[in-house]
Amino acid sequence: MCIGRRPDYRPVIQLDDLLQRYFATTDLTGVAPDTFAAGIEHCRVDLGLEEDRGKRSALWSFQHMFGSAPDLDVAFENEEDREAARNFMDLLAASEGEGVN
């Protein structure tokens, strides 16, 4: 089966862009704790203001990876979005269990 690409497809948000935006670097090893906390807070504000469902999901997922995402019922009005977030959490948890014997 061949999967074609839409000619207008381009990623909306990339991880490196988020890291640069919120922490002023793509290498988190040197980020000071107060800079990290400020970046997370900035991301929380952006999540609260964002109206695009896809971008909200990306910002929530980004926060979840750092253990700072708000509860699903707070972050998402739409049940489909909450279910997508649950699926993301399940996939992430399953991937963290891989390689552990």
Nearest residue to 76 via CA among 95, 41, 51, 45: 51
Q: Is residue 6 part of a domain?
A: no
CA 24, CA 58: separation in Å to the nearest integer?
18
pLDDT in tens, 69-92: 999 999 999 999 999 999 999 999
- Total-model pTM: 0.81
pLDDT in tens, 31-65: 999 999 999 999 999 999 999 999 999 999 999 99
Q: How many domains are contained in the chain?
A: 1
Question: 3 falls in which pLDDT band (50, 70, 90)?
Answer: very low
* Domain span holding position 48: 15-97
Q: Is residue 75 part of a domain?
A: yes
Q: Is residue 22 part of a domain?
A: yes
What count of Cα atoms within 13 Å lies in the side-chain half-sphere of residue 40?
A: 17
Alpha-carbon separation of residue 61 from 3, 32, 87 (angstroms): 26, 22, 11
